[in-house]
């Protein structure tokens, strides 16, 4: 394993900002795994740390294939992480809206450019991503329908679901999109939570990446790793959005992964002063809870669940 | 008359309302004046006040309708937050929204629905807390043919016709222009401040535009002739090092190539880390206001003429 600084930016009063990578094996740029792009993506950071740990052992035991190299970058936004901020400390810009970057542009454009210059030539690009609404997903692989997406390869992770979605205007500036444009096989892995650690989902995500690397013949396993699931492919547009009818405090009865039947009460929105029920949130269809929002206070019309129709 | 564009219940004993002031009969041509999408941009507040004040002083001179939307993001304005508080979300990246979407998307769709059909919409922004801008209209190349002639009435100094970027397709202006409501984006001044001179300048321009539309029969000055960006090229100056920026040039001034723009200094070392010179002859239309800079921070934009 070689630890190396991929990008560095000097700061006036803080320590230099550094993007640090961990390289395993030598030769063809086979796979790059990127963790936290935002300062609150602690689950993504921790997942990468466990992946680095696993790969270190596999490399020491000679299980990284000859002529293949893997790069893991646990965090691209340490300066925000250390002050518990999601976006860039000074101007609040999002590094994941700056790709492919511009080396003469603004600060986060330069960071994106510095990172992308190093990682754009990898054959496979995997990003541990997060959602802008605080909540928990069933772990899955998410792919944009750019024409470059490869669903069969996504199955190699062995995660329960593969979600396909149409690109939106802002997607053209994300890491995943630009990896695809540069002809990498790009995958976004949603590892459950964001700003808190779910250890079970971390294990699932690490195993998913190891499964993928093994099936792509980049590593061989020295120990038993569960093969995972036969993934169901879901179109994001087919997910059922379940919204609140009223604002208040939410009392949730079901967690992500739960099978629900049409008419089941998923949660209640309560009056925050007297605890009376303002509205019941009822499953509009049979299905599986795919996403659950986590905040205790909810607005009206808030999408608190997303279901995969059964 | 103050009208509610949309309202939504907040979790604890509060209703969020987006309001507008409808001045005029509701008949005839309609101009919408919109601001407060970013909670830290306040220049538009003074423009809304001044337009409403003048119209209410002489209502008989107005033959159409003026809708003033002073605060598209009232929670942001109230809490000194650029985006939508609680979501860490830039409101100008969620348009046109959806009626069955999350609260933010729902509000965005109601706003677009309410403004849609205006004969002209003016979307007033105030840069951000980092940069000071001269009064300017920014227009996407795709809509320049229709909008540049209207922009010339707004009494601004500069019209910047810029290349289309897909990310801008989520803005209010793009959404409105794409459904046939001509929308001009004004940028002027600096975040968290009111620059009275600029606000009065734009107010004059809005009355000139209303006169051109035939809905204002009162006085309106001859609008100044703006520089159009296609007349020259915009040069960007970005910081080569982190530090504290101390300007040596005045905003809006003409500069010659190699003129002294300012220094980036290291206060604790007593050292100039970068001396910034102008890369060209031209006008400084953007100048750094916030002193702390990272490597890459924008220092100035110069229109090379």
Q: Does B140 touch chain A (CB under 8 A)?
A: no
Question: Which of A194, A218, A235 corresponds to the end of one domain?
Answer: A235
Phi and psi of B224, rounded to 5°?
-70, 155
A170, B266: Cβ pair inside 8 Å? Answer: no
Size of chain B in residues: 305
Same domain? For A186 and A292 the reply is: no
Q: Mean pLDDT across the stretch A85-100? A: 94
Q: Judge if B177 and B284 occupy the same domain.
A: no
CATH number at residue A295: 2.40.50.100
Tell me the mean pLDDT in the region B106-114.
96
Question: A201, A257 in Cβ contact below 8 A?
Answer: no
Q: Which of B184, B210, B228 is the last residue of a domain?
A: B228
Kindly state whether residues B74 and B189 are assigned to the same domain. Answer: yes
**Chain B contact for A255 (CB, 8 A cutoff):** no
Q: Are B62 and B92 members of one domain?
A: yes
Q: What mean pLDDT, rounded, does chain A reach?
A: 94
Tell me: do A213 and A305 sit in the same domain.
no
Q: What's residue A223's pLDDT?
A: 66
Q: Looking at the structure, do residues B135 and B149 belong to the same domain, yes or no?
A: yes
Domain of residue A295 covers 239-309
Tell me: do B81 and B30 sit in the same domain: yes
pLDDT digits (tens, 9 = 90+) for A208-223: 999 999 999 999 976 6
What are the CA-CA distances from residue A241 to residues A136, B23, B52 (Å)? 15, 39, 41
ipTM surpasses cut 0.85: no
Question: Quick one: pLDDT at residue A171?
Answer: 86
Pick from A185, A219, A235: which residue ends a domain? A235
> Are A155 and A244 found together in one domain?
no
Between the alpha carbon of residue A307 and those of residues A158, A254, B184, the distances in Å are: 20, 12, 40
Mean pLDDT of B101-123: 95
- Cβ contact A132–B298 (<8 Å): no
Residues A61, A129, single domain; the answer is yes
Q: Are B302 and B234 in contact (CB under 8 A)?
A: yes
The pTM (predicted TM-score) of the whole model is 0.89
CA–CA distance, B4 with B143 (Å, rounded to integer): 30
CA-closest candidate to residue B32, choices B59, B71, B67, B70: B67
Cβ(B304)–Cβ(B280) under 8 Å?
yes
Report chain B residues whose CB lies below 8 A from the CB of A297.
11-12
pLDDT of residue B86: 81
Q: What pLDDT score was predicted for residue B231?
A: 67
- Taking only the tens place, the pLDDT of each residue in B228-280 is 988 678 999 999 999 999 999 999 989 999 999 999 999 999 999 999 999 99
Q: How confident is the model over A125-169, as pLDDT tens digits? A: 999 998 877 888 999 999 999 888 899 999 999 999 999 999 887
Q: Are residues A199 and A248 in the same domain?
A: no
Do A219 and A244 fall into the same domain? no
CATH number of the CATH domain containing A118? 3.40.630.10
Instruction: Say yes or no: B157 and B273 in one domain.
Output: no
Q: What is the DSSP string of B49-94?
A: HHHHHHHHH-GGGB-SEEEEE--SSHHHHHHT-SSBTTTTB-GGGS
Q: Are residues A230 and A243 in the same domain?
A: no
What is the domain count for chain B? 2
Same domain, B197 and B261: no
- Categorize the per-residue pLDDT at A310 as very low, low, confident or very high, splitting at 50, 70 and 90: confident
- Say whether both A59 and A89 belong to one domain: yes
Domain final position from A235, A268, A290: A235
B129 touches chain A (CB under 8 A): no
Q: Do B162 and B79 share a structural domain?
A: yes
Which DSSP letter does residue B216 get?
B
A149 sits in the region (left: phi over 0; alpha: psi -120 to 50; else beta) called beta
Domain stop point among B188, B207, B228: B228
Model confidence band, residue B201 (pLDDT cutoffs 50, 70, 90): very high
Domain extent at residue B31: 2-228
**What share of chain A in percent tops pLDDT 90?**
87
Give the residue from B186, B209, B228 where a domain finishes: B228
Number of domains in chain A: 2
Residues A249 and A231 reside in one and the same domain: no
Write the CATH number for B250: 2.40.50.100
CA angle B247, B252, B257 (to 5 degrees): 70
pLDDT for res A301: 85
Conformational region of residue A158, where left means phi above 0, alpha means psi within -120 to 50, and beta covers everything else = left
Q: What is the DSSP string of A211-277?
A: HHHHHTTSB--SS-------PEEEEGGGSEEEE-SS-EEEEE---TT-EE-TT-EEEEEE-TTT--E
Cis status, amide bond into B96, omega within 30 of 0: yes
Average pLDDT, integer, range A163-183: 91
Distance from CA of A246 to the nearest CA of B (A): 7
Task: Please write the tens of the pLDDT for every residue from A230-261.
Answer: 999 999 999 999 999 999 999 999 999 999 99
- Residue B252 near chain A (CB below 8 Å): no
């Amino acid at each position: 394993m070689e630890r190396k600084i991929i990008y560095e930016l000097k700061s006036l009063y803080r320590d230099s900002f550094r993007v640090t990578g961990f390289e395993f094996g030598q030769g063809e740029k086979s796979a790059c795994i990127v963790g936290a792009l935002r300062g609150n993506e602690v689950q993504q950071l921790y997942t990468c740390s466990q992946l680095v740990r696993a790969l270190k052992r596999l490399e020491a035991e000679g299980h990284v294939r000859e002529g293949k190299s893997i790069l893991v970058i646990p965090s691209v936004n340490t300066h925000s992480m250390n002050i518990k901020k999601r976006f860039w400390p000074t101007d609040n810009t999002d590094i994941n809206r700056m790709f492919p970057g511009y080396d003469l542009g603004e600060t986060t454009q330069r960071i994106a450019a510095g990172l992308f210059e190093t990682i754009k030539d990898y054959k496979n690009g995997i990003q541990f991503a997060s959602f802008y609404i605080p909540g928990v997903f069933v772990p899955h692989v998410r792919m944009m329908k750019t024409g470059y997406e490869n669903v069969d390869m996504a199955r190699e992770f062995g995660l329960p679901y593969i979600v396909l979605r149409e690109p939106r205007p802002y997607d053209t500036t994300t890491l995943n999109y630009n990896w695809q444009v540069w002809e990498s096989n790009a995958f976004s892995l949603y590892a459950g939570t964001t700003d808190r650690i779910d250890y079970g989902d971390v294990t699932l995500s690490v195993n998913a990446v190891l499964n993928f690397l093994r099936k792509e013949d980049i590593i061989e396993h020295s120990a038993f790793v569960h093969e995972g699931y036969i993934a169901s492919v879901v179109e994001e547009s087919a997910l059922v959005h379940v919204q609140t009818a009223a604002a208040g405090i939410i009392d949730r009865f079901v967690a992500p992964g739960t099978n629900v039947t049409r008419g089941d009460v998923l949660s209640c929105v309560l009056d925050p002063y007297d605890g009376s029920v303002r509205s019941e949130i009822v499953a509009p269809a049979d299905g599986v809870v795919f996403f659950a929002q986590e905040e205790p206070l909810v607005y009206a019309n808030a999408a608190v669940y997303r279901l995969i129709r059964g | 008359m103050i009208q509610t564009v949309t309202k939504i219940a907040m979790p604890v004993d509060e209703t969020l309302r987006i309001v507008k002031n409808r001045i005029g009969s509701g008949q005839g041509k309609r101009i919408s004046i919109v601001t407060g999408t970013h909670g830290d941009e306040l220049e538009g507040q003074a423009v809304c006040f001044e337009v409403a004040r003048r119209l209410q002083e002489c209502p008989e001179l107005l033959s159409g309708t003026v809708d003033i939307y002073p605060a598209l993001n009232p929670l942001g304005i109230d809490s000194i937050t650029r985006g939508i508080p609680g979501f860490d979300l830039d409101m100008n990246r969620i348009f046109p929204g959806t009626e069955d979407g999350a609260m933010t998307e729902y509000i965005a769709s109601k706003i677009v629905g309410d403004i849609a059909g205006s004969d002209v919409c003016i979307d007033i922004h105030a840069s951000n807390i980092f940069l000071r801008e001269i009064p300017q209209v920014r227009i996407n190349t795709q809509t320049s043919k229709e909008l540049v002639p209207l922009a010339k009435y707004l009494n601004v100094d500069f019209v910047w016709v810029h290349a289309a970027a897909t990310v801008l397709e989520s803005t209010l202006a793009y959404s409105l222009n794409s459904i046939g409501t001509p929308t001009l984006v004004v940028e002027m001044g600096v975040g968290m401040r009111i620059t009275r001179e600029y606000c009065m300048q734009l107010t004059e321009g809005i009355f000139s535009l209303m006169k051109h539309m035939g809905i204002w029969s009162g006085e309106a000055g001859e609008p100044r002739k703006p520089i159009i960006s296609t007349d020259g090229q915009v040069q960007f100056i970005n910081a080569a090092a982190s530090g504290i920026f101390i300007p040596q040039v005045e905003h809006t001034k003409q500069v010659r190539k190699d003129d002294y723009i300012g220094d980036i200094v290291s206060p604790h070392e007593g050292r100039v880390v970068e001396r910034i010179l102008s890369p060209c002859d031209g006008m400084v239309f953007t100048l750094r206001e916030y002193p702390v800079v990272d490597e890459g921070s924008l220092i100035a934009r110069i229109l090379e003429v």
